Amino acid sequence: MKSVAGRARLIWGASEGELACCAILVGVAVTLCSAGISATTDKFRETELLSLAARNRIYWAELWATDGRRESAPVPGASSGDHGRYLDALPAEIGDGSGDFRFKPELAGLRNGVVTIRPSLSTTGSGALVWLCGRKPAPRGFQALGQDRTDVPDEKLLFACRNHP
């Protein structure tokens, strides 16, 4: 057993059970970590959606603050910053303040799904403005403007965009 081949046979022969245990432990660890990876990716998508929508939100907030609220207004033009890693901004067709964002085809389960960011104005006349994501309902005392064109199933939507009871 003093030869290298003899020691290798002893090590590999004795460690087959250990190798199987290690493989099982690695499999369990990967399974447990995959939920964390999915949650992290969801946060990245949510952050990207909010950053892509910022230009649209600022445009409408400034327009309404300076010119007053109108039913329809000129739509902001597209820019090169309207594309991200997970989402692309769709060209606005209706001047109601809403913006649509399409998930890229690489995302499983969300392939080409659309999420809408739209404004919600206070009904008290204070001029307060709240932005709604997806199917999120308007808060009490606010009225949602524009049409929600979100077509992603609720369980696949970002948490901030879901309709919570």
Domains of the chain: 4-161 (3.30.700)
Q: What is the pLDDT of residues 116-130, one digit of tens each?
A: 889 898 888 887 889
pLDDT at 142: 93
Question: Per-residue pLDDT tens for 37-88?
Answer: 666 666 777 778 877 888 888 888 888 888 777 666 666 655 545 777 778 8
- Average pLDDT, rounded, for the chain: 76
Q: What's the pTM?
A: 0.67
Exposure of 45 by Cβ count < 10 A (0-12 exposed, 13-18 middle, 19+ buried)? buried
Q: Which of 165, 115, 123, 158 is nearest to 142 (CA)?
A: 123
